[in-house]
Amino acid sequence: MQVSVENTSALERRMTIAVPAERVETEVNKRLQQTARRAKVPGFRPGKVPMSVIRQRYEDAARQEAFGDLVQASFYEAVVEQKLNPAGAPAVEPKSFEKGKDLEYVAIFEVFPEFTVAGFDSIAVERLSAEVADADLDNMLEVLRKQNVRFEAADRAAQNEDQLNIDFVGKVDGEVFAGGSAKGTQLVLGSGRMIPGFEEGLVGAKAGEERVLNLTFPEDYQNLDLAGKAAEFTVTVNSVAEPKLPELTEEFFAQFGIKEATLEGFRTEVRKNMERELRQAIKTKVKNQVMDGLLAANPIEVPKALLENEVNRLRVQAVQQFGGNIKPEQLPAELFEEQAKRRVVLGLIVAEVVKQNELKPDEDRVREMIQEMASAYQEPEQVVAWYYKNDQQLNEVRSVVLEEQVVDTVLQKATVTDKSVSYEEAVKPAQAPAAAE
């Protein structure tokens, strides 16, 4: 087999492969013999059809079948011989496939970029440290109470945080517009659900009152037909209900599955969850800084095939997340290209760090991570056992641990500054969170 390779770009390869005619004919004859054993031809008993008849009837199909198999097999042999690492399936251009002659074709494909990860010492990381103070715990208890708020009818004017039941009709240029009317809608004042001025315009209203609100849609409103336009809303307030926060009682604690349904037991459990969230938030912020640093220090070219695969994966995820009657391929690729490129590049860099440093998942850390996740459940032992019985889930945890080990490897040479902050600052999402793998 003859093979020649041409570098047409940094990653693209144009490989010409010639498969000897003898090998081609051997493959064709093999298929014809297989066909002869099962072919049913009028006038002949099964298995007794002359080869000349078999060849006349089935040779073209056998040759096409042999072509596909020979291309697949010879391409694999060629990339192994040339020590190439394809990043996707090749585009095949046949050059010669005549009976009695060598099979010759051109395979065009991209290879994975070859590089050495460097620049660990140029990466600067700010590592936060914080504790869950009693005041933070008290604030969290209030958040949990507000999340479980109930509303009771109030015979007074509406205030912020009250829940109103309303009917409304919206008009633009005197005409009712699509989606601008509703009956029996529940609206909490101050929630920001409606356009600016709508909720504010209902403060002070009482049950049975009608108000006319003259408002303007924001310039960046999602419905471009309404963006920036003046609108008139006629709103009828059907009822006003005020919020009532639940008391910290045994009944309230039971909603959260707390074994020790006392205030002390509840505070202990909530604190544990907050500390778990804190550890994860700090770890994530460190990881994002490391990944940003690796990206900046290691610019590499991305194979188009990998980028397209990641874009398609993100399309599918978007459809699954947001639903709707839309197919993934209908979503514009450019919406996902930047995120896809980041993911692909980081994947290549992380894999290379693993390879260069001969890293393997630390099984002790794997168990610790599983136990940490399991501690959030009522029966943690069962959760741990479930992970170790499911290879796919277990391997996903191993991948996360391996990524953490990559971060640790970088931190050994990076410039790390420790900073003590409050709990709120530590768990607050970064302004522009890095896209993780």
Q: Are 16 and 97 in the same domain?
A: yes
Would the pLDDT of 433 be above 60?
A: no
Would the pLDDT of 331 be above 70?
A: yes
Would the pLDDT of 436 be above 60?
A: no
Q: Can you tell me the distance from the alpha carbon of 217 to that of 64, in angstroms, rounded to the nearest whole number?
A: 63
**405-418 pLDDT per residue, tens:** 999 999 999 999 99
Query: For the chain, what percent of residues have pLDDT higher than 70?
Result: 98
Among 242, 268, 286, the domain boundary falls at 242
Q: Are 415 and 364 in the same domain?
A: yes
User: Residue range 147-164: average pLDDT?
Assistant: 96
At 379, which amino acid appears? E
**Coil vs helix vs strand at 399:** helix
The pLDDT assigned to 378 comes to 79
Among 55, 90, 108, the domain boundary falls at 108
Would the pLDDT of 4 be above 50?
A: yes
What residue has token string 């936060």? 128
Number of independent structural domains in the chain: 3
User: Residue range 198-220: average pLDDT?
Assistant: 97
Q: Are 233 and 282 in the same domain?
A: no
Domain residues for the domain of 27 are 1-108
CATH code of residue 70: 3.30.70.1050
The pLDDT assigned to 431 comes to 62
The region of weakest confidence among 117-121, 256-260, 399-403 is: 256-260
**75-132 pLDDT per residue, tens:** 999 999 999 999 999 999 999 888 889 999 999 999 999 999 999 999 999 999 999 9
Q: Can you tell me the distance from the alpha carbon of 291 to that of 432, in angstroms, rounded to the nearest whole number?
A: 13
The token pair at 328 is: 């993934």
The pLDDT assigned to 219 comes to 95
Neighbouring-strand partners of residue 3 = 17
The pLDDT assigned to 32 comes to 86
Q: Can you tell me the distance from the alpha carbon of 351 to that of 346, in angstroms, rounded to the nearest whole number?
A: 8
Task: Look at residue 11 and tell me if it is in a domain.
Answer: yes
Q: Are 340 and 206 in the same domain?
A: no
Burial tier of 434 (Cβ tally within 10 Å: 0-12, 13-18, 19+)? middle
The pLDDT assigned to 434 comes to 43
Q: Are 289 and 359 in the same domain?
A: yes
State the average pLDDT for the chain.
92
2-7: strand order across its sheet:
2-7, 12-19, 103-110, 91-96
Ramachandran bin of 111, using left for φ above 0, alpha for ψ from -120 to 50, beta for the remaining angles: beta
CATH code of residue 312: 1.10.3120.10
Nearest CA to 93 among 107, 79, 114? 107
Q: Are 178 and 290 in the same domain?
A: no
pLDDT band at 341 (very low <50, low <70, confident <90, very high): very high
The region of weakest confidence among 35-39, 170-174, 187-191, 266-270 is: 35-39
Quote the longest CA-to-CA distance of the chain.
Answer: 100
Would the pLDDT of 67 be above 50?
A: yes
Q: Are 95 and 17 in the same domain?
A: yes
The region of weakest confidence among 24-33, 313-322, 424-433 is: 424-433
Cβ-proximal residues to 299 (8 Å cutoff; 6+ apart), any chain: none
